[in-house]
């Protein structure tokens, strides 16, 4: 089944977010389908961060609708969004560099033998799950007790992504996953995203400033400027300098060059 034939996993309809008199999002509508990488692009201040924080339950929407699997939802907290199947991997990854891979993978959701505050953890089972889930998306962990701080940036991203998927993410929001990484680690992360996509049932929203990465990995694009959608379409719809122009808020490259010359 083609992506366009499926129902969207997550959809926003005329989403508005105001902070006092300031409107950060002004009627944003988009659809994200299972098995696709949907790139969310725009210059600084375009509204990307606000949009993902509304989708993640950090901020309540002022107006408009969010639908997950066709059902309208309202998020009062990040926990609500997580329970609805929206998993967000922020730039800081929410990992403790001094703790092991396994402890970071479960992080407050440890498996125990007894339901009491002093219960013993099922460490062997947790080691196995952490290693297996990371292997599914391309990273082999030989020692689950390895401190996360000794892992590469690409491996840490994979750990955070595998954790979100294991704990029920149907929609995976990746906030600038390749920023501050070297070229080799960036390719590790892009390969991880591709493997997640190949699972076929997860919708991926990718926030990036990297035009090359967006072209390499994304199936569909939505461009924001000043809190509004200024363009959207599939990778086949975009040609030449379309992405550069839309990432610059719709400005023509020639217009920007003239502005610099003033």
One pLDDT digit (tens) per residue for the chain, 262 residues: 455 568 999 999 999 999 999 999 999 999 999 999 999 998 888 999 999 999 999 999 999 999 999 999 999 999 999 999 999 999 888 899 999 999 999 987 877 766 655 556 788 899 999 999 999 998 898 899 999 999 988 899 999 999 999 999 999 999 999 887 888 888 889 999 999 999 989 999 999 888 888 888 999 999 999 999 998 888 777 665 666 666 655 544 455 345 434 4
Q: What is the per-residue pLDDT for 60?
A: 95
Q: What is the per-residue pLDDT for 3?
A: 57
Q: What is the per-residue pLDDT for 44?
A: 86
Q: What is the per-residue pLDDT for 246?
A: 63
Structure tokens at 151: 């892992």
C-alpha span between 82 and 176 (Å, rounded): 20
**How many other C-beta atoms can be found within 10 angstroms of the C-beta atom of residue 32?**
23
| Per-residue buried b or exposed e for 169-205, using 16+ beta carbons within 10 Å of the residue's own CB | bbbbbbbbbbeebeeebbebbbbbbeebbeeeebbbb
C-alpha span between 63 and 122 (Å, rounded): 45
DSSP state of 96: -
Q: What is the per-residue pLDDT for 180?
A: 79
pTM for the full model? Answer: 0.85
Collect all residues with Cβ–Cβ distance below 8 Å to 137 and sequence separation of at least 6: 158, 161, 162, 165, 192, 195, 196
Which domains, from first to last, does the chain contain?
87-215 (3.40.50.300), 221-233+240-262 (no CATH)
Structure tokens at 103: 């402890």
Q: What is the per-residue pLDDT for 229?
A: 95
Q: Are strands 63-68 and 71-73 parallel, antiparallel or unpaired?
A: antiparallel
Long-range contacts of 138-145 (CB under 8 A, 24+ apart): 138/188, 138/191, 138/192, 138/195, 139/192, 141/101, 143/101, 144/100, 144/101, 144/102, 145/100, 145/101, 145/102
C-alpha span between 140 and 70 (Å, rounded): 36
Q: Residue 40's beta-bridge partner residues?
A: 207, 222
Q: What is the per-residue pLDDT for 211?
A: 81
């Amino acid at each position: 089944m083609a992506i366009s034939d499926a129902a969207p996993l997550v959809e926003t309809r005329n989403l508005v977010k105001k902070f006092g008199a300031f409107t950060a999002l002004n009627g944003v509508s988009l659809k994200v389908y299972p098995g696709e990488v949907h790139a969310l692009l725009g210059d600084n201040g375009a509204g990307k961060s606000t949009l993902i924080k509304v989708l993640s339950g950090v901020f309540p929407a002022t107006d408009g609708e969010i639908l997950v699997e066709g059902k309208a939802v309202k998020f009062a907290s990040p926990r609500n969004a997580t329970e609805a199947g929206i998993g967000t991997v922020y730039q800081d990854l929410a990992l403790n560099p001094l703790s092991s891979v396994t402890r970071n993978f479960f992080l407050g959701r440890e498996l125990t033998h007894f339901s009491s505050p002093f219960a013993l953890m099922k460490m062997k089972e947790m080691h196995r799950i952490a290693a297996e889930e990371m292997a599914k998306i391309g990273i082999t962990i030989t020692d689950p007790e390895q401190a996360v701080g000794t892992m590469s940036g690409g491996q840490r991203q994979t750990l955070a992504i595998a954790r979100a998927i294991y704990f029920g993410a149907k929609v995976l929001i990746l906030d600038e996953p390749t920023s501050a990484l070297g070229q080799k680690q960036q390719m590790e992360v892009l390969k991880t995203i591709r493997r997640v996509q190949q699972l076929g049932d997860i919708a991926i929203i990718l926030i990036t400033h990297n035009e090359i990465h967006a072209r390499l990995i994304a199936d569909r694009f939505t461009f924001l400027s000043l809190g509004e959608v200024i363009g959207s379409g599939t990778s086949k719809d975009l040609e030449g300098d379309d992405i550069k122009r839309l990432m610059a808020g719709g400005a023509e490259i020639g217009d920007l060059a003239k502005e610099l010359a003033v």
